[in-house]
Amino acid sequence: MLDLEVLNNMNIYPPSLDTGRCFIYCRVSTEEQAKNGYSIEAQRDTCTKKAAELNKTIIDIYMDKGATATVSNRPQFLRMIDEMTEKNIDTIIVYNTDRFARNTYDHIIIKDRLLKAGIKLISVVQPMLDESPEGNLLDTFLAGINAFYSQDLSRKTKKGLQRKWDEGYWPGYPLLGYKTYQPDGHKKTIIPDPINGPIIKELFRLYATNDYSIVSLGKFLHEKGIRTSNNKTLAHNTIHNILTNPFYYGFMRWNGQEKMGNHDPLIDKKTYDICQLVASRHRNFVILKRKYDFLLRGVVICAQCGQRYVAEWHNINSSKRDRIAYYHCSKRIRCKSKYIETTILEKKIADYFKNIKFSKSFTDIITKKVDHYLKSKDKEVADQRKLLLNRRNGILANRATLEKRLMDETVDRDTFRRLHDELQTDINAVDKQLTSLDSSRNFDFNLLEEVLALTRDIPKAYAIAHPLLKRKYLHFFFQSIAVNNQNIETATFSPLIQELISQKEVILWNGLLPREDSNLQPCD
Ligand SMILES: [Zn+2]
C-alpha cells in the first residue's frame, strides 16, 4: 500500500520563496585534502553562500574529516542526523551529494529519513538535483547506478566475467584446492590442484565425522603444508569458510547468482550436507548466515495474505545437480497461494516493465539536465586540469633550479638527492590526479548514459541490466508487486513513480490506470 504520509512529505512542489532554517554539512577525506579547491573550508564557504542566496538561516555547520567515508568515520554526520528534527530545520546544504552518502543504501536510507522529516537536501554543485520530480528521479537513479558502477570491477570486466559465469565457469580466483588451467588455445579454467585438492577433500571427510574441531583441522592442514603466506596455521574463519563453501561439491555463488558449475567437484553433496550439519551443531564459532538474494526478494508480496515472497531451491531428481528455484509466500503453512518458478516470475516482471514509459516531455527534460550536467562537469574538469598543470609546471621549474644549484655547487649532493626525490614524488602525485580526472569524467558519462537509456526505454534497459542493477531498477519503480496464482495481480509503484504518474510524466500502457488506492490492475 502506498504510504501517503511519505508522499505528502515529498516536497514535490518547491515553495515559492525559500526561507527557513538549514544545516550545512561538509566532509573531506585525507586524500582529498591534498587537492586544490576541495578543502573543507572551501566547501563550507560555498555552502554558506548558497544558504545566503536562498535566504536561509544557518543553524549549525557539521564537518567531518576522515580517511574514508564509512559511517563510523562520520561522527558529525551522525550527530547532524540526530539533531535535524529537534533543531527544526527544513534544509540541509551540501557541496556535492557524494559528501553525503557513498553508497546507494546509505543514500536511500538517508533520503528517506529526510523525506519523512520534510527536510530538503540541496547540493551546490549539482543544480539538477533539485526537488522537482525529474530532479528526484535523476537523484535516485544516479545514486543507484553510481553505486553499481563503483563496485570493484569495471563494467567491461564484469561483462567478461559474466560471460564466463553464463558458460558455467567460475569467474573468480581459484579456491584453495583448485588451480587455474589453460591448455594451448583454450579458455582459462580451473581444475583440482593435484597436491592441495586431495587434502581439502580429506578436510571435509574428517570434519564430516564430527570427531575433529576446527582447531585440530587447522593443525592437520598445517602439517600437510596448507598454511598462510607467512607459514602460519590458517585462521579459524578461513577453514570455516572452506567447509561451508558449496563450491567444493560443484555449486557456485557469484555476484548474486548461483548455479552448478562445470568444474570437477572435490566432494559430493552428501559430504557437504553432513559438514553443514556438523557446523551448525558446533558452538565454537559464529555461523555467518549468508542468504542468497533472489532478484525479486523484498519486492514481491502475496496478494492473498500480504506476506513477502521468499525463494528457495528444490531438487528435481536424486542426482541433486538439477534444481529449480521457486518463489512462494513466506506464510507457507497457512497460505494457499501457488509456488512459481523464479525464472517464470522474473520474466513476467520483465514484461510488466513494458507497460511503463516516460512521457516525451519528461525524457526531454532529463536529456537536457544530463547535457547540462555533463557541460558543467567538463568545465569543472577543465578548471581542475588547468590548476594541476600549473602546479606541475611549478614543480618542474623548482626542479630546474635545484639542478642548476647542483651544477653551481650551492647544494650538496645528499640534499640534492633528497629534494630531487621529493619533487619527483610531487610530480607523480599530480600526474596521478590528472589521470583520475579523466576517468572520473568518463565515469560520469557512463553513468548518465545509463540513466538516459533507462528513461528512454525502461523495459529494454531493465532486460539487459546486470542482476544487481536490475534490483536497483525494481526498487526505483516498485514499492511492491502482489502475486496471486502465479500472476501479477497488482503493483504498487514507488512514491516517486506514483507522483510522476499523477503528473502524467509516467505513461502506463494497456489500460494500466491507477485506481483510487493507487494500486494497479494487471494487463495480461
Ligand atoms: Zn500468502
Q: What is the pLDDT of residues 348-374, one digit of tens each?
A: 999 999 988 888 888 888 788 778 777
Ligand 1 centre distance from Cα of residue 330 (Å): 7
The rounded Å distance from CA 343 to ligand 1 centre is: 20
Distance CA 405, CA 399 (A): 10
Going from the Cα of 305 to the center of ligand 1, the distance in angstroms, rounded, reads 4
Cα–ligand 1 centroid distance for 333 (angstroms): 9
Residue 315 phi/psi, 5-degree rounding, is -75, 140
The C-alpha cell at 4 is: 501517503
Give, in degrees to the nearest 5, the angle at Cα 348 between 146 and 290.
Answer: 55
Separation of CA 109 and ligand 1 centre (Å): 28
pLDDT of 280: 67
Query: How far does the centroid of ligand 1 lie from the alpha carbon of residue 303, in Å?
Result: 7
Tell me the CA distances in angstroms from 498 to 120, 343, 427, 477, 493, one per residue in order: 19, 27, 52, 9, 6
Confidence of residue 136 (pLDDT cuts 50, 70, 90): low
pLDDT in tens, 70-105: 555 678 888 888 888 888 898 899 887 666 655 555
Task: Please report the pLDDT score of residue 126 as a whole number.
Answer: 62
User: Could you list which residues have their CB under 5 Å from ion ligand 1?
Assistant: 302, 304-305, 307, 329, 331, 335, 337
Task: Name residues whose C-beta falls within 8 Å of residue 130's C-beta, 6 or more positions apart in sequence.
Answer: 14, 122
Cβ atoms of 349 and 489 closer than 8 Å: no
More confident: 210 or 244: 244
**332 CA to centre of ligand 1 in angstroms:** 7
Measured in Å, residue 324 CA sits from the centre of ligand 1 at 21
Mean pLDDT taken over the chain: 78
Torsion (CA) 459, 465, 470, 474 in degrees, nearest 10:
-20
Distance from Cα 79 to the centre of ligand 1, integer Å: 41
- 270 pLDDT band, cuts 50/70/90, is confident
pLDDT of residue 12: 34
Cα 86 to ligand 1 centre (Å): 40
Q: Check residue 97 and give its pLDDT.
A: 67
Cα of 367 to ligand 1 centre, how many Å?
A: 42
Which DSSP category does 320 fall into? Answer: S
For residue 380, what pLDDT is reported?
Answer: 79
Q: What is the Å distance from ligand 1's center to 155 Cα?
A: 38
Residue 375: burial class (beta carbons within 10 Å; 0-12, 13-18, 19+): exposed
| Spacing, Cα 338 to ligand 1 middle (Å) | 9
pLDDT category at 285 given cuts 50, 70, 90 is very low
**Ligand 1 centroid distance, CA of 255 (Å):** 29
Distance from residue 466's CA to the centre of ligand 1 (Å) = 29
DSSP label at residue 60: E
Nearest alpha-carbon partner for 210 in 279, 286, 287: 279
Cα-to-centroid distance, 355 and ligand 1 (Å) = 26
**Closest among 432, 373, 423 to 403, alpha carbons compared:** 423
Expressed in angstroms, the distance from the first to the final Cα of the chain is: 22
Say yes or no to pLDDT of 37 above 60.
no
With a CB cutoff of 8 Å and minimum separation 6, the contacts of 386 are none
Instruction: Mean pLDDT check: name the lowest of 261-265, 277-281, 400-404, 515-519.
Output: 515-519
Output 391 or 317, whichever has higher pLDDT: 391
Supply the pTM of this predicted model: 0.46
How far apart CA 242 and CA 248 sit, in angstroms, is: 8
Mean of pLDDT values over 224-252: 88
| % of the chain at pLDDT higher than 90 | 19
Cα distance between residue 396 and residue 404, in whole Å: 12
Provide the edge-to-edge strand list for the sheet that holds 478-484: 300-302, 478-484, 487-493
CA distance 126 to 435: 23
- Give distance in angstroms: CA of 56 to centre of ligand 1: 50
| 334 alpha carbon – ligand 1 mean position (Å) | 8
What is the distance in A from the centroid of ligand 1 to the CA of 339? 10
- The label of the residue with cell 505513461 reads 507
CA of 352 to the centre of ligand 1 (A): 21
Ligand 1 center to 517 CA (angstroms): 21
Question: CA 372, CA 209: separation in Å to the nearest integer?
Answer: 66
9: amino acid identity, one letter: N
Angle at 280 between CA 277 and CA 286, to 5 degrees: 150
* Nearest residue to 47 (alpha-carbon basis) of 15, 75, 80: 80
pLDDT of residue 138: 66
* Residue 5 CA, ligand 1 centroid: distance in Å: 26
Q: Name the strand (E) or helix (H) holding 494.
A: none
Q: Which residue has the cell 563494467?
A: 155
Provide the strand spans (E) within 296-363.
300-302, 309-315, 323-329, 340-341, 356-358
